[in-house]
Structure 1
């Protein structure tokens, strides 16, 4: 293992150019190298190198990494449940897609969703926290036209790990459901994360399309023993719409030993009459569709994209098993570069999870999922989408109640008409939130920690309009919002 130890001490993971930054000084984005650049490297110090060497010494080729404990310095300071929101960073690509008459164009706008979220990533190769059973993350979005989006993700299974998620923007006619079932394997100088699961998209203005199904590319952390540590996406994904007979197969290309570049994609779109065109580009840059006649249109340009910020409740208003509160001590320690405190904080959460599992086993109880339920091999929200009102205002109210109702009511799917309508506060921008509503009710400290949520549904109406923007995942430099439908030329 002497060669292995020497190699890990020499792992490079520091940006080679100080100009590779984004965001203003002091912002969480500061120091982020440009996404997808092969020179995004760092150098581990001796202590980190020796810890990583000890971890790698446990590994064997093809080994499942689910039981390996990673050192805290390789962790991205957020939960996987929050990282899933990256896939929803540009939902405007699909907004009003159901109103487009051409089924090929509808498929292309849905395809843009799976292409658009990967450029958002931390510097180097970082791993988000493994969510614990019952952990959840929820947030809201306010878009430029005042419409709103809502997201909820829950860790519904620990062995095997399964994260279920639900996003909707009722005013824009979009619903996304899905589950992520990551599996990691050691491949020698790389670690592969197999991204099992799928996204399912519904266009509410086009119910006859049924569901669009999207699969995800696999992720590869390269250079963990020697060379440059960097992230690549590989293998193939598919976007299908059986009702329209349109589909798209996308190959995510990894760099070869001798030739090839980084982050390239190539796709083929097919319709009822066969080939309909090709997709080319780079997932951290420009991606285009060219039809059989040679006409091109931009699907997504990561270099000009603006990530819409999330609105998240302050940690002292979150429940104990909401992601940011659950991992608050670990996140603070990582940001302070205190590896000892980070290790202790991580162990505290994981030990608590093991203790809860022992108690359930000894009492004969089973874990009850809060927001999602199994439907065959899928996990769907406990909000029957097929029976909800088709009116966007009614759906908006039902979704708010489902995601943000207090703990005593959140176990049951709410009725779309069970509460009176509230005024729509979404017209204010997320960065300039209204102060007209009542302040958030304080948490009742006499309640059990797991039920420390907003005191009432009316409190949430205030919460979603008055909360300050909290830190989100690092994104690219701000640029103009994407225009829709995709630009044609």
Structure 2
């Protein structure tokens, strides 16, 4: 029975590379984006059939952001300006806490970048970062299908996050849509409340005009309070896929017990989102992207010796370094080494009849095919990587 991390063996002796998180400015994309990007993207799908599952589609390094998908998931939690997560545990009543959770959910939405994607994490890859008193740990718990797990706890003992995500990207001829399966759970321990949150889908339009946007309906449910929310991500006033604003959100918070609407939600996730109280008509700002996801700080290594060989920034360090230097041949070779090592270890495990077991989570699948992850430890320890205060 194989319990060591696949990525521990795959990691080269290279320095960890951490890059700027995606924020409103999106400076990282501007540095990498070539002039003929659309033509290059279209060439990728020349031999791909509509309806194909792209979960294991291998991108050339020239199309990669210099970071892993695990890092992108984590950044949505630990890279913040205004801390909406801690506000959730400070609410004086159930409605105030639920509204804060809705705001936090919107804060995890970051501007996607057309033509670029993060690395597909290798099996057993981990990402461990602390931001203040919040400690976040992610692990790639499955490769086929790709499943990522997250556990985060705060030293105050007020908040815990657990989620398990399985993105399923499919090619539809003129677009690619990534449906993100799995639930995010926010637990407010002091109030014995648990909030179950869906993820929006990612829609990449190739024609008639290239774009990338979040879409679909996010549902948030708290069974203890009987409150629910539905938030729709959509493109407004579009005609034949042209024009319109792709960053609109609209929805409502309501009681699942009575069906009564408490407030309406309206705005843009990259600007402000407001609520309108159904009883008083009062409008107030629920979320402000300028304070939440602008000018975000890049994590740094605090304890080099404490880094795990499976850490994303180590596993992909040489690839990211080469991409940042625009040394495309070196990035291609380094990426191939990481992926070939992971494939070789997978073959060896299969030949020996060994079963790989996640290091930090237990993984199960229900009768509907949904994946669920349970942390093996009650709390996440402080990390060797931190977000500067």
The answer for the alignment partner of 1:227 in structure 2 is 209
Cα RMSD, aligned residues only: 3.1
Q: Are residues 1:139 and 2:129 paired?
A: yes
Tell me by how many angstroms 1:87 deviates.
2.3
For the 8 Å contact 2:131–2:387, the answer to whether it is kept is no
Q: Are residues 1:212 and 2:201 paired?
A: no
The answer for the alignment partner of 1:152 in structure 2 is 137
Task: State the Cα deviation string for residues 177-206 of structure 1 (Å, max 9, x = none).
Answer: 001100111122221111111110110210
Distance 1:30 1:86 in 2: 6
Change beyond 3 A, Cα 1:32–1:365: closer
Change beyond 3 A, Cα 1:220–1:309: same
SS of equivalent to 1:182: strand
Question: Which stretch shifts more, 97-106 or 344-353?
Answer: 97-106
For the 8 Å contact 1:64–1:184, the answer to whether it is kept is yes
The answer for the alignment partner of 1:282 in structure 2 is 268
Tell me by how many angstroms 1:399 deviates.
3.2
The answer for the alignment partner of 1:270 in structure 2 is 254
For the 8 Å contact 2:21–2:75, the answer to whether it is kept is no
Distance 1:220 1:28 in 2: 24
The answer for the alignment partner of 1:84 in structure 2 is 73
For the 8 Å contact 1:95–1:172, the answer to whether it is kept is no
Tell me by how many angstroms 1:141 deviates.
0.8
Which of 211, 215, 220 pairs up with 1:239? 220
Change beyond 3 A, Cα 1:357–1:115: same
Distance 1:263 1:85 in 2: 22
The number of residues matched between the two structures is: 355
Tell me by how many angstroms 1:34 deviates.
4.1
For the 8 Å contact 1:218–1:234, the answer to whether it is kept is yes
* Correspondence 1:8-407 to 2 at 5 A: 34=25, 43-45=34-36, 52=41, 54-88=43-77, 89-90=79-80, 92-95=83-86, 97-121=88-112, 123-142=113-132, 148-171=133-156, 173-207=158-192, 209=193, 211-223=194-206, 227-228=209-210, 230-255=211-236, 256-257=238-239, 260-271=244-255, 272-273=257-258, 274-292=260-278, 293-305=280-292, 307=296, 310-313=299-302, 317-374=306-363, 377-383=371-377, 385=378, 399-400=380-381
Task: State the Cα deviation string for residues 40-62 of structure 1 (Å, max 9, x = none).
Answer: 995545xx777645531121111
For the 8 Å contact 2:231–2:250, the answer to whether it is kept is yes
SS of equivalent to 2:333: helix
Larger RCO (CA within 8 A; separation ≥ 6)? 2
For the 8 Å contact 1:176–1:199, the answer to whether it is kept is yes
The TM-score, its normalising length taken from structure 1, stands at 0.66
For the 8 Å contact 1:179–1:378, the answer to whether it is kept is yes
Change beyond 3 A, Cα 1:248–1:350: same
The TM-score, its normalising length taken from structure 2, stands at 0.82
For the 8 Å contact 1:79–1:131, the answer to whether it is kept is yes
Q: Which runs of 5+ in 2 are unaligned?
A: 1-17
Change beyond 3 A, Cα 1:329–1:468: same
Distance 1:104 1:167 in 2: 24
For the 8 Å contact 2:71–2:127, the answer to whether it is kept is yes
For the 8 Å contact 2:168–2:178, the answer to whether it is kept is yes
SS of equivalent to 2:190: coil
Tell me by how many angstroms 1:99 deviates.
4.3
The answer for the alignment partner of 1:477 in structure 2 is none
Distance 2:89 2:281 in 1: 25
Tell me by how many angstroms 1:66 deviates.
2.1
Change beyond 3 A, Cα 1:165–1:176: same
For the 8 Å contact 2:298–2:387, the answer to whether it is kept is no
Tell me by how many angstroms 1:118 deviates.
1.8
Tell me by how many angstroms 1:102 deviates.
2.0
Distance 2:209 2:152 in 1: 39
Tell me by how many angstroms 1:257 deviates.
2.3
